A and B are shown apart, each in its own frame.
Chain A
Amino acid sequence: MAGLAAKFGSGAMTNSVAEIETAKALLVIGSNTTENHPIIALRMKEAVRKGAKLIVADPRKIPLTKFATLWLRHKPGTDSVLLNAMMNVILAEGLEDKNFINERTEGFAEFADSLKEFTPEMAEPITGVPAEDIRKAARIYAEAENAGIYYAMGITQHVMGTNNVHAVGNLAMLTGNLGKPGAGVNPLRGQNNVQGACDMGSLPNVYPGYQKVDSPEVQKKFEAAWGKPLSSKIGLPASLMTEAMIEGKLKGMYIFGENPALSDPNTHHAVKGFESLEFLVVQDIFNTETTDLADVVLPSASFAEKTGTFTCSERRIQKVRPAIASPGEAREDLAVISEIYQRLNGEAVTVPDPEAVFAEVASLWPGISGVSYERLEEESLQWPCPSADHPGTPYLFKEMFPREGGKAQFTVVPRVISSELPDTEYPYLLTTGRELFHYHTGTMTRRSTGLDAVAPTAFIEINPADALKLGIADGDQVNVSSRRGTIKLPTRVSEIVPPEVVFIPFHYKEASANKLTSDALDPICKIMEAKVCAVRIEK
């Protein structure tokens, strides 16, 4: 997120899902779209049927490769080198959009200079992608009238995630693929309301609507609205909280609707953090690995029992409506949070009205001031939507970028490598991800009998060549160890992964891949390196 916001002034998906089918070329990188964003993948398949060229860059033979014009099987963690090499080709062959670069961007000269060393021949041994394929990919993407880039956690959950995001942004800028339909830079959000959680200011450095906590004017505005003095000190990001708990700087935590004791990379460490706390409150619909550590557990309502809004990947705000009553004494999160808020403030406790809460946000964030429950009854709206008669914005940056000066910023992306690469002791590169039939830590999907029946156990995907070397047959139980821990699970011998790379889905608590992964942090946006780490496999 930090990456895109710095370049464009906004970190959301620039374009819309429906536009995908009008794109002439698509570059999908670090996103197993078919399994993680199935309905967005349908649009991609439709685009291909309509003649669009699809480039898939992924170490794994993900289902989308079946529809690809070109599949680049780069080594995990080499995304930015691959992208830089594509841009080197674009400049070498004069395929860049000179008008766009001149009129709508800044920082080009220095950036162009930085690409010189990234020739396809230099990138080939690093990425494992033949130089000729890099050239082909560059031409397909740059020659298309409009081309969209789609990515997900596959490129962001790395030590160099921010660099990767800068690189995809640079690529779109270089070819003028911004501010028009069916193009853009499109981060696909993993969970239903990641976009909304960010929009609402569930981030340590910004208030709702990305208004900075360390800006004095912004602080004044929110102090006036909320009637309390506020802190101008940027807060701790989630990834630094564990350390702060262990060090005793954080004494009390309140977690709602999340299960970080299982989902955090390097879960041992996370659990240790929660155990060091003086007081932990967890609010959820189920008992989880995190409620196990809590001092107080508060039962929530599920989405089927509440009123509110979700904002999906394409910035679309949509209504959530209650169909049934909650079981037992479970209560809506909003009511619980609001009661704690009021009691801490010494105010009388009242029942909150979601519509009034939404209106309050709309009054503080101009980007959605035209959105109201009344309008959402009839339609869903994509922000920015600044006035009541504004139709919403399917794609961003048509006229300008919301940065000072109105231009997008090229960013030099140096060569960085993963903090942990295979060596003789831990010779395999582990990548983790989701599978179609489960979601996150499985608390919901594993309670659905059908889903659990088709995908009942964790597994490790391993290439047949490696299986042969290790004397392992399909279905054998193996121990997988990293510098942080060991888990035991059955193998799935499969060509889906290339040699020397293995894959484990992270939904299963009995074989939690996050016991193995690393919590090394991206220095800029503080995302942990959940994607890549080195492991050893033993029978």
Chain B
Amino acid sequence: MITLTIDNKTVEVVKGSTVLEAAKKLKIDIPTLCYDSRMKPHGACRLCIVEIEGMRRPVTSCTTPAEQGMAVTTTSAHLERLRKTTVELLLSDHPNDCMVCIRAGSCTLQELAYKYGIRENRFGGAMRDHNRVDENPFIMREQNKCVLCGLCVRVCEEVQGVSAIGYAGRGFEAKICSPFEHDLNCEFCGQCVSVCPTGALSAKMWAGHPRHEGVELTETTCTYCGCGCNITLHSLGNEITRVSSRTDNHNRGWLCVKGRFGYEFINSEDRLTTPLIRREKGGALEPASWEEAISLVVDKFSAIKEKHGADALGGLASARCTNEENYMFQKLFRSAIGTNNVDHCARY
């Protein structure tokens, strides 16, 4: 363990920790744009600068290892001036679009502009124009809002192992795109969307739904595969408008394309909305009331059991439904009907 002081508070961290991690342990808030604890530090945005006793210049805390006896200052007039300038430079070629931007209200850049009170820009000048239409079905790219934090490139390479996107061009012309600027053709996990700190990356499916107003969040579990990812459903009334995932869960906020973007079936027009009964063999299924449908099931099951015995009935439970439903289903067969003819379709 290593002991150091940050803003005159003492903290102990394991060897190999960074100054930023030590500060987080003390719950000291240092602004960042390109940092994500789930990936290797990058040191690109320069917002996390701190002063360390004995060093001539401020250093980026995300890339500086904590050392025994270090004395760190995270906030000073000088540091705040530098940070404000950094944000002003980022905003100098940024579209002033917050009113209609999908990310407003959860945008790190917008928060920084608010924090430093930046309204008029000292550095106004040429604006980049990198926007191009990408026809992929999932991911909306508005490159004019990109701050080159590199999080999307890193998550795609470091976490997803796909490397579908990279840097192109230099300096003012630098941008992030897929090879040869083709339409994105990747695993569409949306990891890049989830780490983007601005409105540069979003989901096409989010458009047209409220960003925050009236939206409720529900923590639940993905319905697709056995990974059991934790997801957050965003809903407005009875419509699911978005799926996200918190970074502090067992899947660390990562999801796959099905979990993140495969939710439209829930509000599909095709959903069954009323019981159906085939009133005569070979006839069509016709709408019925619950009372009629359940009575028919109970009568038929009773009659078959009466005539042929309980083992003439069988049930297939569902590996997609809940534990409680599965329990109740096998209990229905074993105890109310009296047979062990109960299984589910997928053994694995």
Contact = CB atoms under 8 A, between A and B. Distances in A.
6 contacts: A38-B187, A192-B226, A200-B326, A234-B340, A284-B272, A312-B228
Interface string B196-207: 000000001100
Nearest to B293: A296
Contacts of A354: 322, 324
Interface string A377-413: 0001000000000000000000000000000000000
Contact of B316 (A38, A40, A256, A447): A256
Contacts of A338: 328
A319 B232 CA distance: 12
A194 interface: yes
Contacts of B342: 201-204, 235
Interface stretch (B72-80, B172-180, B251-259): B251-259
B246 interface: no
Interface string B226-262: 1111100101011110000000001100111110011
Interface string B263-297: 11111101111111110000001001010011011
Contacts of A228: 335-336, 338
A136 interface: no
B339 A231 contact: yes
Interface in A133-168: 152-153, 156-157
B37 interface: no
A196 B342 CA distance: 15
A202 B346 CA distance: 11
Interface stretch (A182-190, A422-430, A458-466): A182-190
Interface residues of B, number: 108
Contacts of A443: 265
A194 B332 contact: no
Contacts of A39: 227, 229, 251, 254-256
B85 to A, nearest CB: 36
B315 interface: yes
A196 B265 contact: no
A469 interface: no
Contacts of A199: 323
A318 B230 contact: yes
A34 B240 CA distance: 27
Nearest to A213: B340
A190 to B, nearest CB: 5
Interface residues of A, number: 146
User: Which 10 pairs of residues, A with B, have the shortest CB-CB distance?
Assistant: A312-B228, A328-B273, A257-B318, A308-B322, A235-B340, A189-B226, A299-B272, A38-B256, A202-B317, A323-B218
Given A202-B343, A318-B230, A339-B294, A308 B223 contact: no
B52 to A, nearest CB: 30
A314 interface: yes
A122 interface: no
Interface stretch (A95-103, A245-253, A476-484, A489-497): A245-253
Contacts of A271: none
Nearest to A249: B312
B258 A345 contact: no
Contacts of B277: 295-297
A188 B346 CA distance: 12
A35 to B, nearest CB: 9
Given A304-B240, A314-B228, A436-B256, A230 B345 contact: no
Contacts of A254: 297, 301, 313-316, 329, 333
Contacts of A340: 294, 297-298, 301, 332, 336
Interface stretch (B2-10, B14-22, B120-128, B302-310): B302-310
A203 B227 contact: no
Interface of A: 1, 17-18, 34, 36-40, 42, 45-46, 49, 66-67, 152-153, 156-157, 187-205, 207-208, 213, 222, 226-231, 233-238, 241, 244, 249-258, 260, 263-264, 278-279, 281, 284-287, 291, 294-300, 302-306, 308-314, 316-325, 327-334, 336-341, 343-345, 352, 354, 357-358, 360-361, 380, 436-439, 443-445, 447-451, 453-454, 525, 527
Interface of B: 136-138, 158-161, 187-189, 204-205, 216, 218-230, 233, 235, 237-240, 250-251, 254-258, 261-268, 270-278, 285, 288, 290, 293-294, 296-298, 300-302, 304, 308, 310-348
B225 to A, nearest CB: 6
Question: Which of B136, B219, B341 has the most chain A CB atoms closer than 10 A to its own CB?
Answer: B341
Nearest to B255: A39
Nearest to B249: A380
Given A256-B329, A330-B271, A340-B297, A244 B314 contact: yes
Q: Which of A153, A203, A229, A233 has the most chain B CB within a 10 Å cutoff?
A: A203
A469 B75 CA distance: 72
Contacts of A339: 294
Contacts of A45: 159-161
B336 A341 contact: yes
Nearest to A324: B238
A173 B321 CA distance: 34
A339 B227 CA distance: 32
Contacts of B312: 249-252
Given A153-B348, A302-B223, A341-B331, A250 B321 contact: no
B271 A194 contact: no
B255 to A, nearest CB: 7
Given A302-B265, A314-B228, A450-B264, 4 more contacts: A297-B272, A302-B223, A313-B226, A318-B221
Contacts of A257: 317-321, 325
Given A191-B320, A202-B343, A308-B322, A17 B272 contact: no
A318 B228 CA distance: 8
Contact of B233 (A304, A317, A439): A304
B68 to A, nearest CB: 26
Contacts of B221: 192, 303, 310, 312, 318-320
Given A241-B314, A437-B258, A450-B205, A341 B263 contact: no
Nearest to A238: B343
Contacts of A454: 136-138, 188
B270 A439 contact: no
A192 to B, nearest CB: 5
B321 A333 contact: yes
A42 B228 contact: no
Given A338-B328, A340-B332, A525 B347 contact: yes
A404 B258 CA distance: 42
A195 B344 CA distance: 11
A438 B312 CA distance: 35
Given A251-B304, A296-B275, A344-B301, A437 B257 contact: yes
B137 A449 contact: yes
Contacts of B328: 334, 337-338, 341, 352, 357
Contact of A321 (B219, B273, B313, B334): B219
Contacts of B326: 193, 196-197, 200-202
B278 A316 contact: no
A439 B324 contact: no
A287 B270 contact: yes
